[in-house]
Amino acid sequence: MIRKATLSTHGPFEMGDHGTEYSNPVVVENAIIFGNRSVGLVSFYPSLNQQRWVLPIRGGVMSELSVDQNNVYFGGGDGFLYSVNLENGKVNWRYEIRNPIISKPTLAKNRVFITTSDDTIYAFDAGTGKWLWHYRRRSSQLATIFGASEPLVDGNEVLAGLSDGFLVALSLEEGQLRWERKLHQGTKFTNVNAHPVLEKELLYIPSYDGALYCLKRNAGEVVWRFDTGGSKNVVIDDQSLYLPASNGVIYSLDKNSAKIQWKFELDRGTPTQLALTPQYVIVGSSYQYLYVIEKKTGKGLYRFDVGYGSGFSGSPAFDPDTQRLYILSASGNLYTFALRQPPKKIRAHGSSDPYLF
């Protein structure tokens, strides 16, 4: 992998600002959309290295972005949920939820669904921002971690994890509780912050320090559990399931049996969401590195150092058309990488490839 460009997006750091960014870059045609905590929402032309527009937001952007048609949806540090036009950066509507920590919005059936860190699931009209319903339950009294579960819409139900350790299924129309399943079996953090992943009537979702579960879709009956948890979504590919675990290990599992196929341990820190290509698993560490892992074997191929004590929090974005990877570091640098094949020629002693693992 070759670093093609680095764009500094963070304004002046203030006292107490530890430089953590939660937004994810999104590729929209020939532009990149991303947010940061010091400026707001930014649209950028990577091929021209030129800014398209900026939407200033007090407190910046605190959630990951979701794009649907010509609009982008996200949570601001000012406690509002936003809908913004992708072409010009104008606000379509915003709704005050008084909580800057929300999940990545889910767009389905002309509605927007979010989960907040105080265990409230909201439904809004995507076109107007009109409140439709919300489901609220008492937040966990135990220690929790930053974040919230991105809702999954399937049929006439909305499913999301909560900080008390439960996965809940709500009715799409009124937000009434249909069923729930307790997932947390850990000893410290109770959160279920990951997005439920559905495939062939099976749900895959981890709790933070408990386990990864495979559940039957209809009522949450447990098919199998793998005794390592995480706060990020699993990714499914053919017969394999990839888990970025909270213990700093990336697992490749057989999705039918949860048998370990390989595992890769980060040097330090916790993993970001994964980006998959036909050949690679790409992941950032919260502490220092961006990694490229061979998908078949779990072998580390490349490791890019962004600085001791720095790292990544938001998800990487891979554009298959251009073979470019985009990721925002904790210090607010937007990195652009180009994938390349591993070098076949062995280099002479004394010379090195800075991208080799």
Largest CA distance in the chain: 67
158, 175 contact by CB (below 8 A): yes
Low-confidence residues of the chain: pLDDT under 50: 13, 15-16, 346, 349-352
Q: Which of 289, 228, 222 is nearest to 263 (CA)?
A: 228
pTM value?
Answer: 0.90
Edge-first strand listing for the sheet containing 91-96 = 66-68, 71-75, 80-85, 91-96
Instruction: Give the tokens for residue 274.
Output: 């994964």
Provide the token pair at 24.
């994810």
CA distance 46 to 93: 28
Separation between Cα atoms, residue 142 and residue 189, nearest integer Å: 7
Is the Cα dihedral 215, 197, 304, 350 positive or negative?
positive
Buried b (16+ CB within 10 A) or exposed e, 72-84: bbbbbbbbbbbbb
Q: What are the φ and ψ backbone dihedral angles of 45, each rounded to 5 degrees?
A: -95, 105
pLDDT at residue number 88: 95
- Strand order through the sheet with 212-216: 197-199, 202-206, 212-216, 222-226
Give the Cα separation of 203 and 183 in Å (integer).
12
Give the DSSP letter of residue 103. Answer: P
Q: Rounded CA gap, 225 and 169, in Å?
A: 20
Q: CA 193, CA 138: separation in Å to the nearest integer?
A: 16
Please tell me the distance from the alpha carbon of residue 187 to that of residue 180, in angstroms, as a whole number: 21
Which DSSP symbol is given to 218? T
CA dist., res. 322 & res. 325, Å (int): 9
Contact 119, 111 (CB under 8 A): no
Cα-based torsion angle of the residue sequence 93, 96, 102, 107 in order, rounded to the nearest 10 degrees: -30
65's tokens: 């972005």
